[in-house]
Amino acid sequence: MSRRTVLVTGGNRGIGLACARTFAEQGDRVAVTCRGEAPPEVLEAGLLPVACDITDADQVEAAFARVEEELGAVEVLVSNAGITRDSLVLRMSDDDFTDVLEANLTGGFRVARRAVKGMMRARWGRIVFVSSIAGRIGQAGQANYAASKAGLVGLGRSFAKEFASRGVTVNVVAPGPIATDMLSALPEDQQDAYADAVPLGRLGRPEEIAAAVRFLASDEAGYITGAVLPVDGGLFMG
């Protein structure tokens, strides 16, 4: 496999950083977007940190321009950046709802739309959206997050149909509960409850999500597009 230019949004920690590392380890040129200063782990992995808030169209354009200048046209996009703002529905403000959709869904659309332009010219490309089990089964206290992640499924499949003739595949990975710093911040009994609900009896690892993303971006997955791949220990079997 030839070296490719990969952009991972939200690639400064957790699942995004694991994805970026796995591409870098196979020799790809990898950039990651960060909203703040890049942590040492990004630089130690040889990744190119690019400041970008994906809710800002000008910042997205500037980020792509920098990646193209330093690494070349983006051939693989992993749309991973997102936020949570959990609350029960009756306590959730309109801003709580729309801000999460803007970051997770509209932001995903914004970066994929920009990336696919170069992929169309090259007649080859890979886009992988990172969704969530919450978007498949819903989650109390996460109506905004679940809606945004469910939206990525429809978005990804629409992109898949629109750009298949140009050699661009578009797929979605739907992680279950993963042992990231976000989950680690929860009380231990709540973490145990998440693990107990999984048929395999444990939380997933970021590297397991990264392995699925890497496969979908590979030549071996060239006949897969519009798919939703659950990586959730058997939590959702639909």
pLDDT tens for residues 190-220?
Answer: 888 889 999 999 999 999 999 999 999 999 9
- 5-180+206-230 has which CATH code? 3.40.50.720
Of 2, 46, 25, 71, whose CA–CA distance to 214 is shortest? 25
How high is the pLDDT of residue 1? 60
How high is the pLDDT of residue 194? 87
User: What predicted TM-score, i.e. pTM, was given to this entire model?
Assistant: 0.96
End-to-end, the C-alpha distance of the chain in Å comes to 33
Residue in 145, 150, 180, 231 annotated catalytic: 145
What are the CA-CA distances from residue 167 to residues 108, 147, 225 (Å)? 20, 29, 10
Ranges of residues in the chain with a pLDDT under 50 are: none
194 assigned to active site: no
Tokens 């509960």 correspond to 177
